[in-house]
Amino acid sequence: MKTTKLLSTQHMVTLAVALAALAFAPAMLKTYGLYLLSLWLVYVIAAMGLNLTVGYAGLKSLCHAGFMGVGAYTVAIMMKAGFSFWLASPTAIVICFILGLLIGFPALRVQLHYLGFATLGFNLLLVLFFRNEEWLTGGTFGIQNIKRPEFMGIALESNTNFYYLVLAITIIFAVLLALLLRSPWGRAFAALRDNAIRAESTGVNITAYTLMSFAIGAAYAGVAGALFAPLVNFIEPAPFGISNSLLFLMMVVIGGSGRFYGPVLGAAIALLLPEYLRFLKDWYLAVFGFAAVAMMIWLPGGLLSMKEAWQLSRAKREAKQKELEQAGGAA
Amino acid sequence: MTDFLQLLLSGVATGAIYAMAALGFTLLWQAAGTINFAQGEFVMLPAFAMLIGMSFGLPLWASFIVAVVLSILVLGAAFKKWIVDPMRGTGVVAVVVATLGLSIGLKSFVKAAYSAEPHPFPSIFSDEVFKLAGVTISYSDVGALVFAGLMVLGLQTFLNKTITGRAMQAVAQNTFSAEALGINVKRMIFYTFAINAILVAVTALLITPTYLAKFDMGDNIGLKAFFAAIIGGFNNSRGALLGGVLVGVLENLAGAYLSPAYKDGVALVLFLAVILVKPDGLLGTPQERKV
């Protein structure tokens, strides 16, 4: 039985190589490269959460950047008020989780695309709040000089040390997500996505699971936000707007929604690739946009569905070939 | 009081323009199940087409006609043939991501290939004002209101009174029975895309003088059209008109009387309230969920 083994050998080897590469990356990268790699990991955490909501539970959520903003602002405001990062970040995660629950309630009323619209509206509201409530958020000037934390006496101020913190937290939350998806909860989320009414009739409490998938997804965005603020040292409303929420959705879908490594790949394409294609300047985004269109036409399951799409098309071709041969034989 | 009336009138005028973009949005949804996140960019492109036409020395009306023709060919026919048709049956999320990609692609293309600067755009109406019972009224507001109002009402009449229009509605309601009744479904869907293409070109003509032609002008228009369509009722084309006018009027009044900072928030709050209380919009009919 395949399922008795936790991971296939091939999977284990690939994972070990990837983790080793990430662990040795600081030795090979300059300051900016390391910063980008850390930012990518932060986006991966957020996109993993969205993948749970969108890809596994099938709910269309378009305010992920807003949740990330709530996480980032919570940490920044609390640290400015003198609280430690290790108290501020769990608070940020809890606040995002609760907000996710509150947003999940309309999800129970409005399914399908209306939910996407409602969450989009909520994100706009959050941005207006970040921008206009200057006494709390600093308005358009944002909050500056956010310090990086210490961990058990080790200063994480240096880029390398902070990178290892981000990497460690990414791995922890990736493992937690993997465990969640392997649990009966993961199956319930998939049942919710595939057919909510059928799931309900087989005894899945869809109310609870809808709320949970939303709240856990939002909590992951909160984790990402909590790391984003000290990483960049400075936050303002712009990165938490709807265009980034839409970008998060694109990351998940382009990578392969409902696939564990989809967000990892999607975040790399949306964040790391533009840096290597800088010489293209504005044309890069044009190419990125049109490439996304082309991909949705030919590969709507995302990049990670390539293998299956190829196998499917080969199976189809073979079936057709057989049909033709039989027809030829009959004639 | 006169202030209020002035704000109301200019709100209705802006709202009528939003309504056109919103109407196109709902028509595409009804006929082809396409949620077009690039609708704002669909307004931006004809604006630039007219700008380029005028830079070749064409008068505004002539470049408008060129823009309408190009719009039908590119945003109507090509969009349907190369993007919407191949994606039939892939699900809403894939279509949303594709139109999002299209939106980013078109914006960045215009920015990279033409310019990142805002360009002034001539109005078809004079910018003078006149007074009526103490209320200052601008010709461009009245012109926009009349023009957009005629477009929307004309389209309503077309959809309800002509055989082609009714056939289009039949396709929107039930493709299979429409086909069984001998309606040329493919052609009707193409007509819908063509109508959307004309609507966005007219929207561009009316709104660009105030918004200025800029690569990202579609962000705001697209969002307002989107709100208007949902507030009115996503599956009802009359709803788009109501939604557009409500959004236009409310944001104008809120900007003046409440807080300019939260001006955009008012349409949003209305939008969220409608979604929570009546998810199918003010004039929409509930959709059944399938098992």
SS3 annotation, chain B: CHHHHHHHHHHHHHHHHHHHHHHHHHHHHHHHCCCCCCHHHHHHHHHHHHHHHHHCCCCHHHHHHHHHHHHHHHHHHHHHHHHHHHHCCCCHHHHHHHHHHHHHHHHHHHHHHCCCCCECCCCCCCCCEEEECCEEEEHHHHHHHHHHHHHHHHHHHHHHHCHHHHHHHHHHHCHHHHHHCCCCHHHHHHHHHHHHHHHHHHHHHHHHHHHCECCCHHHHHHHHHHHHHHHHCCCCHHHHHHHHHHHHHHHHHHHHHCCHHHHHHHHHHHHHHHHHHCCCCCCCCCCCCCC
- Indicate if the pLDDT at residue A3 is higher than 60: no
For residue A40, the model assigns a pLDDT of 95
* B272 to A131: CB separation less than 8 angstroms, yes or no: no
Distance, CA of B145 to CA of B142 (rounded, Å): 5
Q: Which member of A121, A285, A291 has the closest CB to residue B268?
A: A121
SS3 A202: coil
Report ipTM (2 d.p.): 0.86
B 162-181 residues inside an 8 A Cβ radius of A: none
Question: Any chain B CB within 8 A of the CB of A257?
Answer: yes
Q: How confident is the model at residue B69 (pLDDT cuts 50, 70, 90)?
A: very high
Give B-chain residues touching A296 at CB under 8 angstroms: 87, 90, 94-95, 97-98, 101
Nearest-Cα distance to chain A for B262, in Å, is 7
Give A-chain residues touching B99 at CB under 8 angstroms: 293
- Average pLDDT value for residue range B2-31: 89
- Note whether A226 and A274 are within 8 A (CB): no
Distance, CA of B43 to CA of B45 (rounded, Å): 6
Nearest-Cα distance to chain A for B110, in Å, is 9
Helix (H) or strand (E) holding A150: strand A150-151
- Indicate if the pLDDT at residue A273 is higher than 90: no
- Indicate if the pLDDT at residue B214 is higher than 90: yes
B 219-258 residues inside an 8 A Cβ radius of A: 219, 223, 226-227, 230, 234
Nearest-Cα distance to chain A for B131, in Å, is 36
Question: Any chain A CB within 8 A of the CB of B122?
Answer: no
Question: Any chain A CB within 8 A of the CB of B91?
Answer: yes
Kindly write down the DSSP assignment for every residue of A109-133, as one continuous string.
HS-HHHHHHHHHHHHHHHHHHHHH-
Distance, CA of A280 to CA of A276 (rounded, Å): 9
* A290 to B37: CB separation less than 8 angstroms, yes or no: no
* A249 to B272: CB separation less than 8 angstroms, yes or no: no
Distance, CA of B175 to CA of A181 (rounded, Å): 39
Q: Which of B79, B275, B277, B285 to mutate to test the interface with A (most CBs of A within 10 A)?
A: B275
- The residue that leads in pLDDT, B146 or B135, is B146
- Indicate if the pLDDT at residue A4 is higher than 60: no
* B112 to A289: CB separation less than 8 angstroms, yes or no: no
- The residue that leads in pLDDT, B52 or B34, is B52
User: Nearest-CA residue of chain A relative to B264?
Assistant: A128
- Does the predicted model carry a pTM greater than 0.90? no
Give A-chain residues touching B116 at CB under 8 angstroms: 282
- Note whether B271 and B231 are within 8 A (CB): yes
Question: Any chain A CB within 8 A of the CB of B262?
Answer: yes
Distance, CA of B172 to CA of B185 (rounded, Å): 9
Question: Any chain B CB within 8 A of the CB of A116?
Answer: yes
Taking only the tens place, the pLDDT of each residue in A136-175 is 888 888 898 888 887 877 788 888 999 999 999 999 999 9
Question: Any chain B CB within 8 A of the CB of A253?
Answer: yes
Taking only the tens place, the pLDDT of each residue in A198-252 is 877 877 777 788 888 889 999 999 999 999 999 999 999 999 998 899 999 999 9
